Amino acid sequence: MIQKISLVILILSLAFHSCKKSSSSGTISEIDSTKIALDSIIYNNYLKAIDNESTFQLFLVVTIKDLNSGQKRELCTKGDFLEGALHTEYKINYDSLGLAVLDKLQRNNRSRYFELKDTAALNNLGFNIYTMDDLTKFEKNHNIDSLVNLFKKGKWSLAIPEDKIMLLYAHALFNRGILTGENSCFGGTLELAKDN
């Protein structure tokens, strides 16, 4: 009898423990909710970047697999560069039917994952401008979270003459839900997108 009671208590305590499991930063369900909200913001920012037709180009982050090397990684690029790469890779025409195919290809890809083999398409994205190690080191040496707080307070811009550094900032910020861009006519300045 004591063994049965002990077993019931053990099962109930495990069930209770799994429902109440928490971490130092909140319960598991709170963490999941935060991640879902951030994923939604990131996907909406991705859509804004691919829909943008202005000379103020918005940055987005996608995961690309280079089918030549097998390397798979995140990279930051401009919305137009992604569209150009997909046109090249999939030989999509620039007519209304081709643009509809491209739009569907991008919108139906909530994971933002693409596999590319054409070197011109990969180069169009800037696949070799920086590595994930570069991004990790960059984030360790720069307080990106403090920039996120600045962005939340309003307009912000940063003059960055080097493309690699601009992409690293834009990548780190995009993954935190902040949409940035660069004016193609007057490049060199990373700016907060107006509709953040």
Q: Is residue 27 part of a domain?
A: no
Say how many domains are in the chain.
Answer: 1
Q: Is residue 164 part of a domain?
A: yes
State the residue for tokens 């643009």.
99
Could you give the dihedral angle defined by the CA atoms of residues 41, 182, 49 and 63, in that order, rounded to the nearest 10 degrees? -80
Give the domain range for residue 85.
40-192
Beta-carbon contacts of residue 45 (< 8 Å; ≥ 6 apart): 58, 60, 174, 177, 179, 193
Could you give the dihedral angle defined by the CA atoms of residues 155, 140, 43 and 38, in that order, rounded to the nearest 10 degrees? -90
Q: Is 24 a residue whose pLDDT tops 90?
A: no
pLDDT, mean of residues 101-106: 96
CB 47 within 8 A of CB 62: no
Q: What is the pLDDT of residues 120-149, one digit of tens each?
A: 999 999 999 999 999 999 999 999 988 888
Q: Is residue 19 part of a domain?
A: no
* pLDDT band for position 28 (cuts 50, 70, 90): low
Cross-strand bridge partners of residue 26: 23
Residue 105 pLDDT: 96
Q: What is the pLDDT of residues 86-102, one digit of tens each?
A: 999 999 999 999 999 99
Q: Is residue 35 part of a domain?
A: no
Q: How many residues can be counted in the chain?
A: 196
15-49 in b/e form (b: 16+ CB < 10 A) is: eeeeeeeeeeeeeeeeeeeeeeeeeebbeebbebb
Q: Is residue 155 part of a domain?
A: yes
Cα first-last separation, the chain: 63
Residue 127 pLDDT: 96
Q: Is residue 85 part of a domain?
A: yes
Would you state the structure tokens that stand for residue 136, as one six-digit string?
Answer: 């990790």
Q: What is the pLDDT of residues 31-84, one digit of tens each?
A: 677 888 889 999 999 999 999 988 899 999 999 999 999 999 999 999 999 999
* pLDDT band for position 196 (cuts 50, 70, 90): low
Q: Is residue 5 part of a domain?
A: no
Beta-carbon contacts of residue 150 (< 8 Å; ≥ 6 apart): 156
Q: What is the pLDDT of residues 150-184, one digit of tens each?
A: 877 776 788 898 999 999 999 999 999 999 999 87
pTM, rounded to two decimals: 0.81
Distance separating alpha carbons of residues 129 and 66, to the nearest angstrom? 14
Q: Is residue 58 part of a domain?
A: yes
Residue 103 pLDDT: 96
**Radius of gyration (C-alpha) of the chain in whole angstroms:** 22
Could you give the dihedral angle defined by the CA atoms of residues 41, 42, 44 and 45, in that order, rounded to the nearest 10 degrees? 110
